[in-house]
Structure 1
Amino acid sequence: MYKVFFLMIAIGFPLSVLGSLLHWPVVLLFIIYCLTIVALASFMGRATESIAIHTGPRVGGLLNATFGNAVELIIAFFALKAGLITVVLASLTGSVIGNLLLVMGLSFFIGGIKYKRQTFNVFDARHNSGLLVFAVLVAFVIPEIFSQEMEPKNTYTLSVGISIILILLYLAALYFKLVTHRGVYQTSDTENEAVEQEEAEWGKKKAILILLLATLAVAYVSESLVHTFEEVGEAFGWTELFIGVIVVAIVGNAAEHASAIIMAYKNKMDIAVEIAVGSTLQIAMFVAPLLVLISFFFEKPMSLVFTVPELIAMVTAVLLAIVISNDGETNWFEGATVLAAYFIMGIGFFLL
């Protein structure tokens, strides 16, 4: 499988450069860009899997979420620069519901087919539940409600204030997990033994180098991808909302999708859940606020004001994820339930 992805990169990346220079048909370029990003993401997944073995599940999961969201951040940056605020907000929505429902659902489902019962760190699950409620139910809902009685300028000012608070709390959460309370809530013994026994595919330096090179390549392709959205939407009858929530979110988060599923199949549920939930928290508490602050330097500043369907979708995803994961164990049926919720939302966004 990895040989196929390597071939896709070897062919797709040069074609991406050549197609941009020769102005090939936009729909063809869109397909080439998406496939190339997915292939690059697979190598990011392999690299982060190796790093996870070297560093442990928490740091490995955090690193995977970071580099996976780097793709999302890069795509969103260029979309923001192009003035596609609707696409950016939609892609953030898609990342939240995609990580909590699609990634987590597939992980639980595929892992549950192989193992009847899988467990993960219940203390981490409960800690993350509180942060999810704060990040989505508080920080995203408040701007929507208050903006009804505010001028656009004040709405953006409110968004900036919330963004700064979110980033500070996210940094505090990392300090809590990785410094002050590192090792206080141990992961399961069986998973620790599995990590100790398994050898990393690549050395730590090689894995980090591949991560960096793949991220740079994704940045180049992503800039070209953003410029195809408008024409592709017209060609397929897709709205900017659907492109952002479904297409951009899936392509941008392909690294987490692949890595989380692989980890779940290997019964490394601590890492799989950390990737899905950690990536969601990073999107809500770091990427989204950072984009709000960056947008100050562009022609159209972006506020943290989502549409009602986007908000309801994110709130529903958070509540379902909390209910499913708060007991620290899962099975294939719970995965199927979470996936069903994602597909229902996908149909809704397509028909809007």
Structure 2
Amino acid sequence: MGKVFGIVVLMGVPLSIIGSLLHWSYVLMFIIYCITIVGLASYMGRATESLAIVAGPRIGGLLNATFGNAVELIISIFALKAGLIGVVLASLTGSVLGNLLLVAGLSFFVGGLKYKQQTFNVFDARHNSGLLIFAVVVAFVIPEVFANTLSEEKTMTLSIGISIILIALYLAALFFKLVTHRGVYQHTENEGDAHHEEEPEWSRGKALLILALATAAVAYVSENLVHTFESVGESFGWTELFIGVIIVAIVGNAAEHASAIVMAYKNKMDIAVEIAVGSTLQIAMFVAPVLVIISLFYEQSMALVFTLPELISMVTAVFLTIAISNDGETNWFEGLTLLAAYLIMGIGFYLL
């Protein structure tokens, strides 16, 4: 599989540059850009997996989520610059749904086919549950409730205030997990033992270099990808909402999608869950607020106000994930349940 992605990157990056210079068909370039980003994301995933082996499951999962979300953050910044506010909000929604339902669902399902029962740190699961409810149910719903009675300017002020609070709490959560309470809630299983014996694919230096190069390449391809959205939407009859929720979210999070599933197949559920849920928290508590603040520097600022279908979908995904993962155990059927929920929501967004 690594060779396949290597060929994709070797062909995709030059074709992306040539196609953009020669003004090839927008639809063709959209396909090339998406495939290239997925190939580059795989390299980012392999690099972060190497770093995870050295650093441990929590930091490894955080690194994977961070660099996986870096792709989407880059795409979203260029979309903000182009004034595509609807696409950005939809892609944030898609990331939350994709991580909680698609990534976690596939991880639980694939891992469950190999193992009857898989376990992960129940204390982390419960800690994350509280943060998920705060980030999505509280911080995302409140602006929508007040937006109906506040002026546009005051709604933007409220969004900025909420964004600053979200970023502060996210940094506090990292400090809690990685510093003050690191090692306090140890997993009762010994599934991490094999993790320390495993050899990383690349050295720390090589992994960091590949991460830097892949991120730079993704930035270039993403900027060009954004300019194809309007033409592709018209060609296929896709709305901005569908492109953001499904297409951008899947392409932008390809790295962590693949990594979480591989980790689950290897029975490293602590890392798999940290990638899926940790990535969701990072999107909701860091990426979304940062985009709100960045949007202030562009002509059109972005308030943290989602549409009703987006909000209801995210809240439903949060409570379903909490109900399934709060016991620290999972199996293939629970994974299938999450996937079924994702498919139902996907059909809904396609038909909107």
Residue type of the alignment partner of 2:204: K
> Distance in 2 between the 1:171 and 1:94 partners?
23
Q: Distance in 2 between matches of 1:46 and 1:294?
A: 30
Equivalent residues in 2 for 1:192-341 (5 A)?
A: 192-341=192-341
- Which residues of 2 match residues 1-352 of structure 1 at below 5 A? 1-352=1-352
- What code does the residue aligned with 2:120 have? F
Count of residues in correspondence between the two structures: 352
- Residue 300 of structure 2: SS of its match in structure 1? coil
1:188 and 1:4, CA in 2 relative to 1: closer, same or farther beyond 3 A?
farther
Question: SS in structure 2 opposite 1:149?
Answer: coil
Query: How many angstroms does 1:212 deviate by?
Result: 1.2
1:131 CA drift (Å): 0.2
Please give the alpha-carbon distance, in whole angstroms, between the structure 2 residues aligned to 1:48 and 1:194: 18
Q: Structure 1 CA distance, aligned partners of 2:190 and 2:340?
A: 30
Amino acid at match of 2:104: M
Q: CA deviation at 1:188?
A: 4.3
TM-score, with structure 1 as normaliser: 0.99
User: Following the alignment from structure 2 to structure 1, what is the Cα–Cα distance between the partners of residues 158 and 81?
Assistant: 21
Using the alignment, how far apart are the partners of 2:166 and 2:136 within structure 1?
11
CA distance in 2, matches of 1:61, 1:195: 13
**Cα separation, 1, equivalents of 2:290 and 2:29:** 29
1:83-115 residue CA offsets vs partner (Å, 9 max, x unmatched): 000000000000000000000000000000001
* Unaligned ranges ≥5, structure 2: none
Residue type matched to 1:150 in 2?
A: L
5+ long unaligned stretches in structure 1: none
**Aligned partner of residue 148 in structure 2, secondary structure:** helix
Cα deviations across residues 286-317 of structure 1 (Å, max 9, x unaligned)?
00000000111110100000000000000000
Larger CA deviation: 55-64 vs 40-49: 40-49
Within 2, Cα distance between the matches of 1:347 and 1:157? 34
Distance 1:347 1:320 in 2: 18
Instruction: Determine the C-alpha separation between the residues in 2 that align with 1:80 and 1:139.
Output: 21
Moved over 2 A (4+): 187-190
CA distance in 2, matches of 1:251, 1:238: 16
Cα deviation digits, residues 266-287 of structure 1 (max 9, x gap): 0000000000000000000000
Letter in 1 for 2:166: L
Over the aligned positions, Cα root-mean-square deviation in angstroms equals: 0.6
Amino acid at match of 2:247: V
| C-alpha displacement of 1:208 | 1.3
* Distance in 1 of aligned mates of 2:6 and 2:53: 23
The 1-side partners of 2:60 and 2:196 are apart by 14
Structure 1 residue 334, shift from structure 2 partner: 0.3
Q: For each residue in 1:153-205, what CA deviation from the matched residue of structure 2 results, as whole angstroms up to 9, or x when unmatched?
A: 00000000000000000000000011000011113442221101211111111
Task: Give, in whole Å, the separation in 1 of the partners of 2:90 and 2:194.
Answer: 38
1:53-104 C-alpha deviation (Å, 9 max, x unpaired): 0000000000000000000100000000000000000000000000000000
Once residues 219 and 327 of structure 1 are traced to their aligned partners in structure 2, the CA distance between those partners, rounded to angstroms, is 39
Q: Supply the distance in 2 between the matched residues of 1:310 and 1:261 (Cα, whole angstroms).
A: 25
How much identity, in percent, do the aligned residues show? 77
Q: Distance in 1 between matches of 2:326 and 2:146?
A: 31
Structure 1 position 261, deviation (Å): 0.3
Greater Cα shift, 132-141 or 211-220:
211-220
Aligned mates of 2:226, 2:175 — CA distance in 1: 35
What amino acid does structure 2 have at the position aligned with 1:40? L
- Matches of 2:274 and 2:259, distance apart in 1: 11
